[in-house]
Chain A
Amino acid sequence: QQQVKQSPQSLIVQKGGISIINCAYENTAFDYFPWYQQFPGKGPALLIAIRPDVSEKKEGRFTISFNKSAKQFSLHIMDSQPGDSATYFCAASKNTNAGKSTFGDGTTLTVKP
């Protein structure tokens, strides 16, 4: 049973456009929702994260929107750039077991110049 479902699997966006990646979770005990960015041949790197007590968090061009009632959260990349081309993973964990994060299957983003 997959606890975090991520969509789409792949995404192509023009330079300057908005990239949107969605995740849905099942376990209401999750209380930490990070996004990771992974370039080919590298390990994932923490990009931005949110707790369920806020509905939105923005860091530069990256925004997380969180809908607790729908058990969904999404990553928005504004003014997408070719350098944003990477694989993005959403994840979820709970405070009582923070070493046990559950990841989505990933979204491969391609930003065309």
Chain B
Amino acid sequence: NAGVTQTPKFQVLKTGQSMTLQCAQDMNHEYMSWYRQDPGMGLRLIHYSVGAGITDQGEVPNGYNVSRSTTEDFPLRLLSAAPSQTSVYFCASSYGGSGYGYTFGSGTRLTVV
């Protein structure tokens, strides 16, 4: 049981490049979410999904796309990287409904130069 697996762990991009951050979970969780963590700003929700084929925007969605074709996978795409997207990105999953906390991945540290 691997939990939530994120790849890569580290990435350096040039401004304007695109890339996909991968996230996979093996717990059959309905809900999956992407957060970014910046110093002093806690965790801010980018996009989330309540099931395969269903996604919605969070607090800071601009510059990011997501899709959820399977229950297990929830990739995050950066369309045209900007220095403001330098951050640590966390994928999280949970069972549907309230009363269940998140299981987080170990994060991807992204630097955009």
Which residue numbers of A lie inside 8 Å of B, CB to CB?
6, 9, 31-32, 34, 36, 41-46, 49, 51, 89, 93-95, 98-106
Contact = CB atoms under 8 A, between A and B. Distances in A.
B4 to A, nearest CB: 8
- Residue among B97, B105, B106 with the highest chain A CB neighbour number at 10 A: B97
B90 A43 contact: yes
Given A43-B106, A44-B102, A105 B33 contact: no
A15 to B, nearest CB: 27
B58 interface: yes
B42 to A, nearest CB: 4
Given A46-B103, A104-B42, A105-B41, A31 B48 contact: no
Nearest to B45: A100
A100 B60 CA distance: 12
A95 B45 contact: no
B71 interface: no
Contacts of B98: 31-32, 51, 93-95, 98
B66 to A, nearest CB: 12
Contacts of B106: 42-43
A93 to B, nearest CB: 6
Contact of B45 (A34, A43, A94, A101): A101
A106 B88 CA distance: 15
Given A89-B43, A104-B42, A105-B40, A99 B94 contact: yes
B105 A106 contact: no
Nearest to B57: A100
A42 B32 CA distance: 18
Contact of A99 (B32, B41, B103, B105): B32
A44 B48 contact: no
Contacts of B50: 99
24 contacts: A6-B42, A36-B101, A36-B104, A44-B43, A45-B104, A46-B101, A46-B103, A49-B99, A51-B99, A89-B43, A98-B97, A99-B48, A99-B50, A99-B56, A99-B94, A100-B33, A100-B45, A100-B56, A101-B102, A102-B45, A105-B40, A105-B41, A105-B42, A106-B42
